[in-house]
Structure 1
């Protein structure tokens, strides 16, 4: 049984979808730039009432950690999260493999299913990289590992199925190892390119919600033009178009699409606020949607008459992913033996965007397995910390409501600190947007609530009065053992010594190498009493 081709030809669907993805990367960059400009303007303005600095209170006692190897637990947690994402993609990938083989009239043997499904498993790699803050090099090595493992497994399956088909395995079947990579090279470049395009670290925080909005908004002109063309092909429709104008059908689609898009954006922000998914899970769902949609469009283009089957199959595969992802992440057992929650306050010298982003990726994002991260918002790390709620406030012209302008705003923000883990086991980043006369009181309140403090002092100069204030407050309010300073020169150490007679933990962090990153992170775990102190 065949079905008529839908009102929009497959080629037009593919063009619209690809345009949406490309526009997502462009619009997300513009949105993030505009967001940064507005935040910077807010930081430089005054609220009209400077907040007083709270009196020095006794340092908060950190409950000693039970005898748990925090570093071993972290390694296990990262492995479990990675396997959960692989499992979340594996089952839908097998469903897509069966669909693709059936539509392409290829044999539905275990070897063929492994050939197709194994290559589709590569979609899990960027999800794992985003969730665990893997660097580009480690993500590439992970991708190669996944592909080689699937190629080996597929080759083994092809040899094992031979006896069931009445033949004996032969050495020429080893060539299936290379056939796997040939197949992957044919099917994967387009969806992986789209994922990489929207997975750039600079726009990753706003890409999912931008894509959701553009996908709905972008359908309005396409469907409007198609509806106008269809009406013009009938006598009654032509008279209707003449009465309401050529743009009538277009406008009839535009306003509902706008309302639907805004409703969808609010729904995403509300679900994120309710902790139904994390930022990494939202990104993973967006990427899987791109993956399934790309495959669907390619199959519809190749076999237009089978479009209902393709839509049903890819839609099922997409819907299966978030359910399976939530189920597997909930069963990772991260709570078993988990170290007690610790809050990290991240301070830094403002103005070094690329360097601060790298530090956050390598240390701040990694800390989110152990507890929430708090910080003063600034453009230098905005791309890493913006969430759907921030995006919606910005899009609705309510960004000013995010700023601390009074003691009431500060108390409300402190009371609302998110200290519970997301469904994927990671904690969130709590940012405070402050005016020029409210940031000091805010940062002091965050110091009083922190279990450990990381202050990036690379690039510190005597002119940085804000850093001098923070160092003095840290010296007066917190034990030196709970403060870790990242420095890049002896001159910075000398400046610190002039302000803090009792020096905190100082870690040299010049190039941000793996060894330096591990040393800095271990120092933070010690500062939060999650590792026994190794210093004299």
Structure 2
């Protein structure tokens, strides 16, 4: 099998991953929306009002100070997880290419691979696009400076003196990065778009295995055709028969792999961000392996062994470093955030979830009623497998038994990377009210996005009245975009909650909203008058 065939198969898999993942999410949204509009046949009663739970206060400024340190440690953990195997890949590439293996050369190659950590950090910490770009440039500049310094420091050990012309190595690093990085970064962009990255890793795993059937079938047919007996067999059973024979085992292997991923995710062996990081590191390792095998086909075994080892080291090292990064020492107490919103504004809801909801996952779990407006951000391997197996209906709350089981199974423990999970409840038209009230009673703080609220939104009216009866006003934060919305709220609630204006979603507005949520959860002191 030629390296060109492998490259073609790999690229096809990545492109198909983007297309299939988009189709899966579209179909998933349609089915969830249909389920939301249907009735279970038995409306659930609204639970009686219970006394609000007491939220224990945290020392002043503990929330933001701890978060700042935790985010820095998480970023360093991902950088370290990539840096160690990247140095090994750099030595491998220099050896296969018969190039010098000096510290400066290793830094030249390994430093460019370090850029793989940037999208991992961006997803884990919910960075804005500009922040991610700035972080990527910072990593490249730091590696270029370090590589230039190493080239000057190693000169005396090679019998020479450092010279000013070595400063040009700074630009050499960027030239090398510009040649090598576009291919793997393009692969990451195809699978890392915010709308599909929730299902991209498991889709990629399934397609990569299933795609082996036509590839191996073509090679097996070519091998059979080299002998008279094999040619007769092909003529008797047909040229595509070998593919058909291999298709079923490949499909079963792909399905078992998906089940294995979903099972490991449910067992909390890794988080959604860690699964995506492993997929992206696999893309980097595979891209480098294909390039080196194409350049030195006689050393394919060495390249394959080195790239497999580099990939295998990453998950283990990533788990160890993240466990140390977000330890329990000094961590604020868990706070559950219930996210409510006006349904139907997909882009706006996704941005709010990215900038606030995803960031909250360092402090506690997020609960919500499932809907298509934020489906792309919350779907996990378990959801994907239920949908692929035709069992999506089993996710819906259709009775009090279903609701009690879902509440008992709320995931309130952090993942290995220190982030909590999102707990969604898929509800029928006659079960959502009881479900959202139960979630209110279990939440420490409520964030309700009322932008776009109109008097015809009866669901939001019900939720506001229940919040007014069940929770202290200081634990409810409402996001509004006009005074008309404030007036509607005042007409429905006797105790006005905390109201935050959120028009453009700027960095300043986001920080203000997040600090307000921390105060509502008693993780920050009240601002000084």
Q: Is the structural similarity TM-score above 0.5?
A: yes
SS at match of 1:431: strand
The within-5 A match list for 1:467-506 is 467-506=460-499
Q: Tell me the CA shift for residue 335 of structure 1.
A: 1.6
Distance 1:333 1:412 in 2: 30
User: Any idea what the Cα deviations from partners look like across 1:389-411, whole Å, max 9, x if unmatched?
Assistant: 00000000000000000000000
Check the 8 A contact 1:68/1:337 in 2, yes or no: no
* 2:286 is the alignment partner of 1:290: no
User: Any idea what the Cα deviations from partners look like across 1:462-494, whole Å, max 9, x if unmatched?
Assistant: 000000000000000000000000000000000
Q: Tell me the CA shift for residue 336 of structure 1.
A: 1.6
Q: Which residue of 2 aligns with 1:153?
A: 146
Check the 8 A contact 2:326/2:418 in 1, yes or no: no
Report the RMSD for the aligned CA atoms in angstroms.
Answer: 0.9
TM-score, normalising length from structure 2? Answer: 0.99
Q: Which residue of 1 aligns with 2:381?
A: 388
- Find 1:378's aligned residue among 366, 371, 384: 371
User: Any idea what the Cα deviations from partners look like across 1:208-227, whole Å, max 9, x if unmatched?
Assistant: 00000110111111111110
- Find 1:279's aligned residue among 272, 276, 279: 272
SS at match of 1:17: helix
Distance 2:168 2:233 in 1: 63
Distance 1:135 1:331 in 2: 25
Distance 2:243 2:514 in 1: 56
The within-5 A match list for 1:106-505 is 106-505=99-498
Check the 8 A contact 1:66/1:339 in 2, yes or no: no
* 2:527 is the alignment partner of 1:534: yes
Distance 1:456 1:326 in 2: 35
SS at match of 1:90: helix
Q: Tell me the CA shift for residue 247 of structure 1.
A: 2.4
Q: Tell me the CA shift for residue 241 of structure 1.
A: 2.4
Q: Tell me the CA shift for residue 291 of structure 1.
A: 0.6
- Find 2:12's aligned residue among 19, 40, 43: 19
User: Any idea what the Cα deviations from partners look like across 1:95-116, whole Å, max 9, x if unmatched?
Assistant: 1100111111111111100000
Distance 1:158 1:512 in 2: 45
Check the 8 A contact 1:205/1:386 in 2, yes or no: yes
- Find 2:501's aligned residue among 483, 493, 508: 508
User: Any idea what the Cα deviations from partners look like across 1:138-191, whole Å, max 9, x if unmatched?
Assistant: 000000000000000000000000011111100000000000000001110000
Check the 8 A contact 2:152/2:166 in 1, yes or no: yes
Structure-2 change in CA distance of 1:333 and 1:377 (3 Å)? closer
* 2:81 is the alignment partner of 1:88: yes
Count of matched residue positions in the alignment of Structure 1 and Structure 2: 529
Structure-2 change in CA distance of 1:133 and 1:333 (3 Å)? closer
Distance 1:451 1:152 in 2: 47
TM-score, normalising length from structure 1? Answer: 0.98
Check the 8 A contact 2:85/2:314 in 1, yes or no: yes
SS at match of 1:331: helix
Q: Which residue of 2 aligns with 1:3?
A: none
Q: Tell me the CA shift for residue 298 of structure 1.
A: 0.8
SS at match of 2:447: strand
Q: Tell me the CA shift for residue 309 of structure 1.
A: 0.6
Check the 8 A contact 1:451/1:482 in 2, yes or no: yes
Check the 8 A contact 1:213/1:262 in 2, yes or no: yes
User: Any idea what the Cα deviations from partners look like across 1:345-390, whole Å, max 9, x if unmatched?
Assistant: 0000000000000000000000000000000000000000000000
Check the 8 A contact 1:402/1:433 in 2, yes or no: yes
Structure-2 change in CA distance of 1:44 and 1:333 (3 Å)? closer
Check the 8 A contact 1:68/1:339 in 2, yes or no: no
Q: Which residue of 2 aligns with 1:524?
A: 517
Mark the runs of 5 or more structure 2 residues left unpaired by the alignment.
Answer: none
Q: Tell me the CA shift for residue 67 of structure 1.
A: 5.1
